[in-house]
Amino acid sequence: MKLKVLSELDTQFQPLALVVREFRKNTKGRKGQDLVIAIERNKGYISAYKTRIYKDGEGKDEVNFRFVERIVKALLWVRGGYKIIIAGSKTVGEKIKEAYQKGGLRDFDNGFMARCYEHPFEVVVTDLEHAPVTAESAAPVGRHLDGCRIGFDAGGSDRKVSAVINGESVYSEEVVWFPKINSDPMYHYNGILEAMKTAASHMPRVDAIGVSSAGVYVDNRIMIGSLFLKISDEDFEKHVKNMYLDVAKQLSKEAGREIPIEVANDGDVTALAGAMDLNDNEVLGVAMGTSEAGGYVDANGNITGWLNELAFVPVDFCENAAVDEWSGDYGCGVKYFSQDGVIKLAPLAGIEIDESLSPAEKLKVVQKLMAEGDERAKKIYENIGVYFGYGIALYAEFYDIKHVLIMGRVTSGEGGVLLLGKAQEVLDKEFPELAKQITLHIPDESSRRVGQSVAAASLPEIK
């Protein structure tokens, strides 16, 4: 595999985006066969992805499986769901089914998705005649600014709330809290309720409530959330899963009428805030911090309900690539577009970092060197930029993208500018068709007109 823009520090990097392109080229005509990969999630929504593979039984079955397994993994974590449907190859389909069984290669993915969607995970193999077609939600979510709204942004160290009237914040506050170290769910419930009542007191009424929070949310229910780390599984089921809905019920009871609520992942709300600021749609937001977080606003300016867990989307096809400790998988975004990516590249750049330091402290060491103009640090950010350029090309397989916003502590300072410049070089030289349609941005937080909690307030539609 020949890269037009080299990954100088990580010489074994094999961009999955190029593998996808090569597969398409090499399986044209009689050399290959059609394959449809579909993911089904809540409410029967289906995302279908069409590709090509080599013909079954002609010596390329293992090559096919390895390629399809990576695409399935990517589609699963972009869209989210509890069912994989493979149409067009029984050989590949059965291998995927085996990989996603309990105790199989992708046992982690099975368990995570089953919990998120409260449904046993399954893989279905069928023929092309019965291949499912895409059936996505068309309901608008976000960008509604009419009426009196509460916008709540639940962070790990502070909670923010805004009272918003017709798109203008009339009151906002930030309160320090400690959700990650509290095991009593009433601490969280009372904190959220108090914040919303405070915002409500600054408006004549409450027409809608929007919530932005880290975690996975399905039908406004909390399926997985880092704010509730210390809460037992039993208390999570009883008191946490419906917490935001319960708060809305309490406020509705006090108001004497039903108040709609919409809960979304903070990555999606960040992308929504960026889209509102840009006054455009088809925005992919990527936050590079402790992990890699993603968010997306579609062509209609709405949040999709997709999972957008880019940390678990594979970007490197090399089987010797870095392994994520949590999922046990290789080549996934968390090891490329987060502080882990910086730490991984540091020794390759000739930078020795004290192993006793925390990951955040290790990142600061490299950032300090970067601020001092150290050439080794520059190479790290340039290499992440190469990763990211090829990563964007892969993400474009699953998203319609006009704008990419990058944010997070990894992108701060001159390092982020270098990173984005190198990503642009990759698009220009390797994917000129994408370079024409995608604009890359680093938002200036200080000049951002639309805040996170105001964007959150815009989530529900008032009917």
Where residue 138 falls among pLDDT bands split at 50, 70, 90?
A: low
Alpha-carbon distance of 55 to 38, in angstroms, equals 20
- CA geometry: angle 169, 172, 177, nearest 5 deg: 150
Q: Residue 199 gets which letter from DSSP?
A: H
The full set of domains in the chain, from first to last, is: 16-130 (3.40.140), 148-264 (3.30.420.40), 269-320+329-447 (3.30.420.40)
Radius of gyration from C-alpha coordinates of the chain: 22
When pLDDT is averaged across residues 11-33 and rounded to a whole number, the result is: 96
Residue 85 above 50 pLDDT? yes
Least confident segment among 20-24, 50-54, 237-241, 449-453: 449-453
Residues β-bridged to residue 172: 162
Where residue 449 falls among pLDDT bands split at 50, 70, 90?
A: very low
Predicted local distance difference test score (pLDDT) of residue 299: 92
Alpha-carbon distance of 309 to 395, in angstroms, equals 12
Predicted local distance difference test score (pLDDT) of residue 274: 87
Contact criterion met (CB below 8 Å) for 28 and 44: no
| Percentage of the chain modeled with pLDDT above 70 | 98
Structure tokens at 253: 């009871």
Predicted local distance difference test score (pLDDT) of residue 46: 97
Where residue 452 falls among pLDDT bands split at 50, 70, 90?
A: confident
Q: How are beta strands 32-40 and 46-54 bridged, if at all? A: antiparallel
Residue 139 above 70 pLDDT? no
Give this prediction's pTM.
Answer: 0.90
What is the biggest distance separating any 2 CA atoms in the chain, rounded to whole angstroms? 71
Which amino acid makes up residue 258? E
Residue 269 above 50 pLDDT? yes
Helix (H, G, I), strand (E, B) or coil at 103: coil
Show Cβ contacts of residue 346 under 8 Å, excluding neighbours closer than 6 positions: 352, 353, 362, 365, 366, 380
Residue 445 above 60 pLDDT? no
Q: Please, what's the b/e burial string for 119-134 (b: 16 or more CB within 10 A of its CB; e: otherwise)?
A: eebebbbbeeeebbee
Task: Output the average pLDDT for the chain.
Answer: 94
- CA geometry: angle 74, 82, 391, nearest 5 deg: 10
Predicted local distance difference test score (pLDDT) of residue 136: 87
Residue 447 above 80 pLDDT? no
